[in-house]
């Protein structure tokens, strides 16, 4: 880990023009990276690594039913619009 010569903050690796350099995010100081490799690692909690969702059969049926209901509602809506357009074109009085 290296620190900025100007402000003392930690230098972060960044790729510029195909080369890796160390950059200070506060003041913008740039230092070429001389060592062979620089590795950044992050600790990831167990809850983020493994996440399993269990869906019951009843839940799947409910989801499927709601999709079917949605399709029926779309059909009813289209039928309503067609009927409304026909009544408008026939000149029926609006209620």
Nearest-angstrom CA–CA distance, 25 and 8: 11
Q: Which residues contact 38 (CB under 8 A, 6 or more apart)?
A: 13, 20, 22
Residue ranges per domain, the chain?
1-35, 53-90
**Cα–Cα distance for residue pair 26/6, rounded to 1 Å:** 10
Residue 92, φ and ψ in degrees, nearest 5: -70, 145
The whole-number pLDDT of residue 35 equals: 63
For the segment(s) 1-35, the CATH number from 3.40.50.620, 2.20.25.10, 3.90.1150.10, 2.70.98.50 is 2.20.25.10
pLDDT for the residue numbered 36:
62
Task: Report the alpha-carbon distance of residue 83 to residue 92 in Å, rounded.
Answer: 12
d(CA 12, CA 31): 10
pTM here is 0.39
The two structure tokens encoding residue 68: 């079917």
pLDDT at 92: 57
The pLDDT, as a whole number, for residue 38 is 65
Q: According to the model, what pLDDT value does residue 30 have?
A: 93
Tokens of 84: 């409304």
In tens, the pLDDT along 60-95 reads 777 776 778 888 888 998 999 988 888 888 775 555
């Amino acid at each position: 880990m290296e620190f900025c010569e100007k402000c003392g903050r930690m230098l972060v690796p960044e790729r510029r023009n195909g080369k890796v350099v160390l950059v200070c995010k506060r003041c913008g100081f740039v230092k070429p990276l001389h060592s062979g490799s620089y590795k950044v690692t992050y600790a990831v909690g167990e809850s983020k690594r493994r996440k399993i969702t269990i869906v019951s059969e009843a839940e799947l049926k409910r989801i499927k039913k709601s999709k079917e209901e949605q399709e029926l509602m779309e059909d009813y809506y289209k039928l309503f619009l067609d009927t409304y357009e026909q009544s408008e074109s026939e000149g029926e009085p609006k209620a």
